[in-house]
Chains A and B, each alone.
Chain A
């Protein structure tokens, strides 16, 4: 399918000046390439989720429970009482439209229902009808409508065209957070078994095997062994990779794509080389082998069920604290949910770098440190010997991932590392980085092949900014600290910015890291030859 659509065709009819219509009268159309397949029956059964069955969104009959409206409205009532945010976001939007052209899906599709304000109105209209007096009496006149099957179809289509990236929330004068609205509406739909497979199956896999790819313990060990072999080939050094090691000082949790995905794998090599070089007493875990949390795309309960593994494994392995790898939504869950959901982590110690002695005061309750915080601290204290010229074949830019930037504020650490491990670095335009960064277009469970066109549309603003620095400055790699980015930016750039590569920050660390006793490096972690001395800057 990816070969069928052309970039120039995609933007042909995109306009940011929508024609005036009453949006309630515009029916939703499930066009091939713009939606995701339904959650599989066996995943729902394994997870004990409501209404497992075989169905697809294009079916005329979704095989819903008879009282599905009642279930959703009751669910909404319950959530209004549980989340002040939802209640406030339902009540105070003034529809000023500041968010409208901030959404990457609107910018890539021109579909007004992808404006965050209208996306929220899809739910708000039902809220008005059920929970406000004016809406009960005056209906459509005041923007209220009944929850019908068509409304549900619209919800499914558009709430799975939001990647919960929270860019709109930065611009909203009241801080209305569409991610929460999307998350809660998906949670409502999940109550009647309406969900997508690229969320439910990874949740099932994570629940059973510890990671979303369904890698079993021996498979993970094989992958880590292969990493050790590759590192030996590149550096001449044989590293030990501890797995499920009791009594290690630090548990290292990273997104499982790092074990198998490309280019994630090069980042994995970077972590392992770094840990070896500084002599870190750490361990991987096969049980908590996934930092990513697909539950956070669909249900608070599922999020908690998956996240539970991290603390429980830290407890079992009797580690002192936890270090987390490069991942986007994993870090939102860790930063904003983990301690509240599965804490307190009173069996752990306040994280302290065994190398520099730095106490990570900012993680003193959660007891989990981001790898970029950890490495930046090492570099700042001159604990690493680095040869940035070994990255001279790369000219990098940095894509801030949505969650670490808008859900944490992890902006400087990765930049500090990059500037120390390589010599050519250029930022993308200001409106597209840091807290204003654009999503890759495939987050929050939308990164499927069947949704290809919508992903390319959603990723257009990001690709457009990357194209700018490629054409103007010769940037040839876009670095990021998110596993979903690493999976989705490559096809996105192939489509919009051919030739631009994607990599992780710790891949560059691995390239630059001068290891004790290593052989002269001839290739980088991708086995690309390094530039010879004359060609270096």
Chain B
């Protein structure tokens, strides 16, 4: 059911973008009003989400320790997988956020003649990393449409990304990578029984949406040329809060409007979906805390007062037996 619903939602967005590309009235709404709404929803939504998380305290310091702890001086601590200092924790987080350290551990279990065997399985790690990094680089490359003059890092990224100098225009590695990676992630949800059973519409939809963004982008760059000067004028006018003339809007192709509508939809969808893992990973207590539990006391702001069974009550119940057994007691009677 999840796939059908998300496909339907995807097609609706696609059609909306296309209609907006051909109907001038809708073009104004989608081209001028929607981006502000989307951007506002994205920022406000994400901030609300982060504040909602931050509002709840972290009552205990519960880390997942994935290596030797700091103990005796002659035992080598695993400072990144089981950090005890702020620096080590920062390193662990960096590995997690930038290189998906935990996912890198992934293995695949299978049963062979009643024997359980594990094989290395880095595909998920590889394609997830390829997807996320490609997305980031493509986003940064887009700064050539957002600012004038174009920031110098854009040129640098473009030259690296087009390193192989294949095709005309030169094919970007990230363009290929993001399409392949998204396809893998999508097909995996369908063909891996374990993942399919847990997949929801909210798992397929963002994949489709981002795939839609990537495909329309690739089409515009390599196949169906769009008026890039107009696109840049358009984005800059939006970013500088300058009203856009109808003439400029007319120059934007339907394909660009589809691309643009997908992006705005993603921004709106982002804060209310699992995509908030972008922010959540930084707050995940099992990863962002140092394992210095016995060195430094962690405070629970709501530490409750609970009833306890005191030694006195205990001795009261067992005093005679304790005395008979020769165990020292506090009170003789």
Contact = CB atoms under 8 A, between A and B. Distances in A.
Contacts of B63: 336
Q: Of A23, A94, A133, A465, which is in contact with the most chain B CB atoms at under 10 Å from its CB?
A: A94
B307 A340 contact: no
A436 B105 CA distance: 10
Interface in B109-136: 109-111, 114-116, 118, 124, 128
A27 to B, nearest CB: 16
Nearest to A463: B116
A101 B280 contact: no
B102 A95 contact: no
B66 A207 contact: no
Given A141-B1, A246-B328, A339 B284 contact: no
Nearest to A409: B69
Given A107-B116, A177-B286, A87 B281 contact: no
Given A100-B194, A244-B327, A373-B72, A216 B66 contact: no
A132 B49 CA distance: 12
B294 A84 contact: no
A405 B199 CA distance: 31
Given A84-B56, A95-B200, A365 B297 contact: yes
Interface in B286-333: 286-287, 291, 293-300, 302-304, 306-311, 314-315, 317-318, 321-322, 324-328, 330
A174 B280 contact: yes
Contacts of B89: none
A384 interface: no
B327 A217 contact: yes
B322 A286 contact: yes
Contact of B294 (A22, A335, A380): A335
Q: Of A334, A407, A468, which is in contact with the most chain B CB atoms at under 10 Å from its CB?
A: A407
Nearest to B70: A362
B195 interface: yes
Interface residues of A, number: 124
Contacts of A408: 65, 69, 291, 293
Nearest to B272: A134
Nearest to B84: A362
Contact of B65 (A48, A100, A316, A435): A435
A340 to B, nearest CB: 5
A301 interface: yes
A275 interface: no
A240 B192 CA distance: 62
A217 B75 contact: no
Q: Of B62, B203, B315, which is in contact with the most chain A CB atoms at under 10 Å from its CB?
A: B62
B71 A18 contact: no
A132 B276 CA distance: 14
A19 interface: yes
B11 interface: no
Contacts of B202: 134, 142-143
Contact of A435 (B66, B106, B302, B307): B66
Interface string A292-325: 0000000011001100110011001000000000
Given A83-B56, A217-B322, A218-B327, A340 B61 contact: yes
A309 B53 CA distance: 34
Given A133-B272, A336-B60, A413-B71, A301 B304 contact: yes
Given A304-B304, A373-B71, A96 B195 contact: yes
Interface stretch (A110-118, A262-270, A445-453): A110-118
A137 B82 CA distance: 42
A172 B96 CA distance: 10
Nearest to A243: B327
A95 B326 contact: no
A368 interface: yes
A341 B1 contact: no
Given A84-B58, A173-B96, A304-B306, A218 B64 contact: no
B201 interface: yes
Given A82-B302, A87-B56, A312-B308, A8 B114 contact: yes
Contact of A21 (B54, B71, B128, B197): B197
Interface stretch (A147-155, A163-171, A390-398, A523-531): A163-171
Interface in B33-89: 49, 52-72, 74-76, 78, 81-82, 84
B229 to A, nearest CB: 38
A141 B201 CA distance: 7
B224 interface: no
A221 B64 contact: no
Given A20-B197, A112-B197, A406-B65, A340 B299 contact: yes
B6 to A, nearest CB: 10
B144 interface: no
A413 B314 CA distance: 36
B285 interface: yes
Q: Of A301, A313, A336, A366, which is in contact with the most chain B CB atoms at under 10 Å from its CB?
A: A336
B193 interface: yes
Contacts of B82: 409
A210 interface: yes
A7 B114 CA distance: 9
A309 B309 contact: yes
A424 B116 CA distance: 25
Contacts of A337: 60
Q: Of A175, A218, A246, A413, which is in contact with the most chain B CB atoms at under 10 Å from its CB?
A: A175
Contacts of A8: 114
Nearest to A372: B71
14 contacts: A17-B193, A18-B194, A88-B280, A93-B277, A94-B203, A95-B199, A166-B64, A171-B102, A173-B102, A173-B128, A174-B287, A180-B62, A217-B322, A411-B67
Interface of B: 1, 5, 49, 52-72, 74-76, 78, 81-82, 84, 96, 100, 102-103, 105-111, 114-116, 118, 124, 128, 192-203, 272, 274, 276-277, 280-281, 283-287, 291, 293-300, 302-304, 306-311, 314-315, 317-318, 321-322, 324-328, 330
Given A20-B196, A412-B76, 10 more contacts: A17-B193, A83-B57, A96-B195, A98-B106, A173-B102, A177-B286, A340-B60, A362-B69, A407-B65, A436-B105
